[in-house]
Amino acid sequence: MSDATISDALTTDLYEATMALAYLREGMGGEATFSLFVRKLPPNRGFLVAAGLESALDYLARLRVGPADVDALAAAMGRPSADLAPLLGLRFRGEVRAVPEGRIVLAGEPLLEVTAPLPQAQLVETYLLNQVSHQTTIASKAARCVLAADGRPVVDFSLRRTHGVEAGMRTARLGALVGFAATSNVAAATAYGLTATGTMAHSYVETFPSEEAAFRAFARAHPGPVTFLVDTYDTEAGVAVAARVLRDLGHGPGCAVRLDSGDLGELAVRARRVLDAAGLSQVRVIASGSLDEYAVDALVRSGAPIDVYAVGTRVGVSADAPYLDSAYKLVQYDGRPVMKLSSAKVTAPAPKQVFRAPGFADVIALREEAPPPGGAPLLETVMRDGRRTGEPAPLSVARQRFLADLAELPGAARRITDPEPPRPTASEPLAQLTERVRARIAERLSRG
């Protein structure tokens, strides 16, 4: 049909397209509602931070199946392009209700619900799951680092080991969303208005005849505050050299030394002692190297004199919990509530709302229910007729949402180890509807 470039419409699993085509051929264009949620939290998680909505809405707003997409799908299926003609021109013209980015959410609660003609709502499943699952995973991990640091700045060093450049960009943005102070990723800093930060590598130090020569050259090239990497050879000696250079050059406020290996707690104590003895109490100690919330928490609890924590690999890939048990399930079609009854994967029917009461006493309810006393809705209408209902919120707004929710989160859920997540409950009308739909399905099955 066309030599044009294929679009994001094909960033999907093949079966989404095969189902959408079948629906179109059968005339099944009735309104469907799908709910995206996380079945259960990963181990050692007391909460999740909703993220990925903005990129999901961007995708939905531009979705259009063009001639090149149809040709590519036909080739993948081994069929003539004419067979897939019903897909041509498909756009998203539905509604999205979602939890705004930055809100803290719990297992079982819808992060978003899509209501659209069935073929449209089906085709977008894979992309929405990809964006919301990945970004919620990373935002939740980063948020725990902020908690572990207990008010000390955390910075993002993850780009070199994230699973792709796009993931690195997302990680920098999500770190900023939950309160990271800066990122090493220059492109992300530029794109999202973040503070860029960086020091030097061990290779830089190794190219000079001595650490002192390396540090002095770096200070000449960068007359503002500098950070010296002090553990290329002998860490304590490196700190002493850094202190001498900083004192000789009159550098002080804003300057730092960085520790990147070894027993960071013990080395920080020694570094602080050397710097203070040199009259450089204002020079900070930065720690990096295989850090995540568990290591940061241990260092903070030990009283290590570390001023800034730089986290990278373990956070950028959420090493201890790299995925979410997320799902995108049909809950209503053509006005009829539906549910899945598979063992361990039962879903609740009908479009929903989540009401939050003080103390995270969340109630999952039917969409049309009135809020319980003190309850406020989490899901907001963010798209109608395939168009956003408003401009994307700046990161600062999402950050404020996160901080407000975090302040209300019970202490047991905030713990780094052995957290106890709050558990949402189902409203009575939702519970009653669930039983009615279950009984209806059971009766139908019994009739064969």
Lowest mean pLDDT, pick from 274-288, 333-347, 399-413: 333-347
Q: Give me the pLDDT at residue 341, please.
A: 86
Q: Residue 340 — very low, low, confident or very high, per pLDDT cuts 50/70/90?
A: confident
Let me know whether 32 and 83 are in one domain. Answer: yes
Measured in degrees and rounded to the nearest 5, phi and psi for residue 273 equal -65, -45
DSSP 294-322: HHHHHHHHHT----EEEE-HHHHTTTTS-
Instruction: Give the chain's largest Cα–Cα span.
Output: 89
Mean pLDDT of 316-335: 97
Portion of the chain with pLDDT greater than 70, in percent:
98
Measured in degrees and rounded to the nearest 5, phi and psi for residue 312 equal -135, -105
Instruction: Report pLDDT digits (tens) over 103-156.
Output: 999 999 999 999 999 999 999 999 999 999 999 999 999 999 999 999 999 999
The residues, ordered by sequence, that sit 6+ positions from 319 with a Cβ below 8 Å of its Cβ are 292, 313
Torsion of CA 66, 70, 72, 77, to 10 degrees: 160
Let me know whether 343 and 283 are in one domain. Answer: no
CATH code: domain of residue 413: 3.20.140.10
Q: Give me the pLDDT at residue 346, please.
A: 81
Instruction: Report pLDDT digits (tens) over 70-111.
Output: 999 999 999 999 999 999 999 999 999 999 999 999 999 999
Q: Give me the pLDDT at residue 83, please.
A: 96
Mean pLDDT of 275-285: 96
**Is 159 a domain residue?**
no
Of 287, 310, 345, the residue at which a domain comes to its end is: 287
The residues, ordered by sequence, that sit 6+ positions from 444 with a Cβ below 8 Å of its Cβ are none
Instruction: Report pLDDT digits (tens) over 405-441.
Output: 999 999 999 999 999 999 999 999 999 999 999 999 8
Let me know whether 389 and 282 are in one domain. Answer: no
For 126-157, give one letter per residue: b (16+ CB within 10 A) or e: bbbbbbbbbbbbbbbbbbbbbbbbeebbbbbb
Q: Checking DSSP bridges between strand 363-366 and strand 425-426, what pairing results, if any?
A: parallel
Let me know whether 276 and 218 are in one domain. Answer: yes
Mean pLDDT of 240-249: 95
Let me know whether 13 and 88 are in one domain. Answer: yes
Let me know whether 344 and 432 are in one domain. Answer: yes
C-alpha closest to that of 67 among 85, 43, 91, 54: 85
Let me know whether 362 and 264 are in one domain. Answer: no
DSSP 165-226: HHHHHHHHHHHHHTT--EES-HHHHHHHTPPB-----HHHHHTSSSHHHHHHHHHHH--S--
Let me know whether 220 and 103 are in one domain. Answer: no
Let me know whether 117 and 225 are in one domain. Answer: no
**Is 193 a domain residue?**
no
Mean pLDDT of 204-232: 95
Let me know whether 329 and 442 are in one domain. Answer: yes
Q: Give me the pLDDT at residue 1, please.
A: 41
Q: Give me the pLDDT at residue 229, please.
A: 98
Portion of the chain with pLDDT greater than 90, in percent:
93
**Is 247 a domain residue?**
yes
pLDDT for 349 beyond 70: yes
pLDDT for 159 beyond 80: yes
pLDDT for 256 beyond 90: yes
Q: Give me the pLDDT at residue 249, please.
A: 86
Let me know whether 263 and 330 are in one domain. Answer: no
**Is 241 a domain residue?**
yes
> Domain containing 231: what range?
199-287
Let me know whether 272 and 336 are in one domain. Answer: no
Of 287, 303, 334, the residue at which a domain comes to its end is: 287
Q: Give me the pLDDT at residue 146, please.
A: 98
Mean pLDDT of 256-266: 97
Specify which residues 353 forms β-bridges with: 365
pLDDT for 59 beyond 50: yes
pLDDT for 13 beyond 60: yes
**Is 270 a domain residue?**
yes
pLDDT for 48 beyond 80: yes
Q: What is the DSSP letter of 285?
A: E
Instruction: Report pLDDT digits (tens) over 164-191.
Output: 999 999 999 999 999 999 999 999 999 9
Q: Across the chain, what does the average pLDDT equal?
A: 96
The residues, ordered by sequence, that sit 6+ positions from 446 with a Cβ below 8 Å of its Cβ are none
Of 259, 287, 315, the residue at which a domain comes to its end is: 287
CATH code: domain of residue 240: 3.20.20.70
**Is 370 a domain residue?**
yes
Q: Give me the pLDDT at residue 252, please.
A: 67
> Which tokens sit at 277?
């003895």
Instruction: Report pLDDT digits (tens) over 289-311.
Output: 999 999 999 999 999 999 999 99
SS3 137: helix
**Is 158 a domain residue?**
no
Q: Residue 443 — very low, low, confident or very high, per pLDDT cuts 50/70/90?
A: confident
| Domains contained in the chain, number | 2
**Is 246 a domain residue?**
yes
